[in-house]
Amino acid sequence: MTSSAVQLPGYALALIGLVGSMIATTMVEWKRHSYTESTVTSKETYLGLWMSCTVDATRHTMCVNYKSLFHLPAEILTTRVVMILSVLLSAVGVLVATLGMRCTRCLEEDEKQKDRVAIVGGFLFIIAGVLAISVTSWFANAIIQSFEFSDSPTSLHNRFEFGNAVLVSWGAGICSVVGGFLLGCRFMGSCPQGSRSVSSFTQPKVIPGTRPGTHYV
């Protein structure tokens, strides 16, 4: 398999990872809670990295932005910072990897330098993906821990579950890691190699004192 055939799927996956991380970072459904006491008092609460939203029984949605960083839970504040860092690294990775792609005209006079640039972009994607997966897993574990230890009647109304943003962030992180691996696998020596048959040709040696084309060794 040629270098371009490996780079193109990797680049596409990395782009999907970048877009997915951006979507997950802006989504409000990182934590969700449904509470139904009657058809009148039922409501759903969603907590995101930037705001919280409440949906009442009439499906009316009211969202409130977080006003102060100092009053945010640790998991929300930390996840926000790490996800922003992941998005920035992926964005830089896109720019760097574009310069190193074999299908672009940049740095085409030096293929080795072009490959090194693509590898750097791949490593940026891998780091961004690992950050997204790690902080999302930590966020999910915090939800699990709070769910398991909320056994009192009053705390039952504060039990939160995974939101869709957690799944989106996990998927985006995996795409970034796989895409970065495909872009950097030339450095790791694990790129799939295609089979090529190379025919060797040896120049015939002419015996001195004979006419060319009559006697060969």
Mean pLDDT, rounded, for 68-88: 91
Q: Is position 197 within any domain?
A: no
More confident residue, 43 or 47: 47
**C-alpha to C-alpha distance for 43 and 61, rounded to whole angstroms:** 10
More confident residue, 68 or 140: 140
pLDDT category of residue 198 using cuts at 50, 70 and 90? very low
More confident residue, 176 or 150: 176
User: What are the φ and ψ backbone dihedral angles of 80, each rounded to 5 degrees?
Assistant: -60, -50
Question: Which pLDDT score, from 0 to 100, does residue 41 have?
Answer: 61
Q: Is position 160 within any domain?
A: yes
pTM: 0.76
**C-alpha to C-alpha distance for 55 and 53, rounded to whole angstroms:** 7
Reading across the β-sheet that carries 51-55, which strands appear in turn? Answer: 61-65, 51-55, 43-47, 31-35, 161-162
**C-alpha to C-alpha distance for 185 and 118, rounded to whole angstroms:** 10
More confident residue, 153 or 47: 47
Question: Which pLDDT score, from 0 to 100, does residue 207 have?
Answer: 56
73 residue type, one letter: P
More confident residue, 162 or 153: 162
Q: Is position 43 within any domain?
A: no
Task: Check: CB of residue 115 under 8 Å from CB of residue 186.
Answer: yes
Q: Is position 180 within any domain?
A: yes
Q: Is position 17 within any domain?
A: yes
Mean pLDDT, rounded, for 82-96: 95
Question: Which pLDDT score, from 0 to 100, does residue 205 have?
Answer: 56
Mean pLDDT, rounded, for 58-77: 85
Q: Is position 126 within any domain?
A: yes
DSSP 3-state assignment of 65? strand
Q: Per-residue pLDDT for 148 more than 90?
A: no
**Residue 28 has what DSSP assignment?**
S
The number of domains in the chain is 1
Structural domain range at position 160: 3-29+73-188
Cβ neighbourhood burial of 166 (10 Å; 0-12, 13-18, 19+) = buried
Q: Is position 106 within any domain?
A: yes
Q: What percent of the chain has pLDDT over 70?
A: 69
Task: Check: CB of residue 183 under 8 Å from CB of residue 122.
Answer: yes
Q: Per-residue pLDDT for 115 more than 70?
A: yes
Q: Per-residue pLDDT for 48 more than 80?
A: yes
Q: Per-residue pLDDT for 16 more than 60?
A: yes
Name residues whose C-beta falls within 8 Å of residue 25's C-beta, 6 or more positions apart in sequence.
49, 80, 83, 84, 87, 169
Helix H or strand E segment including 160: none
More confident residue, 212 or 86: 86
CATH number where 170 lies: 1.20.140.150
**Closest by Cα among 25, 160, 154 to 82:** 25
Q: Is position 130 within any domain?
A: yes
Mean pLDDT, rounded, for 184-203: 52
**C-alpha to C-alpha distance for 18 and 24, rounded to whole angstroms:** 10
Helix, strand counts (H, E) of the chain: 4, 5
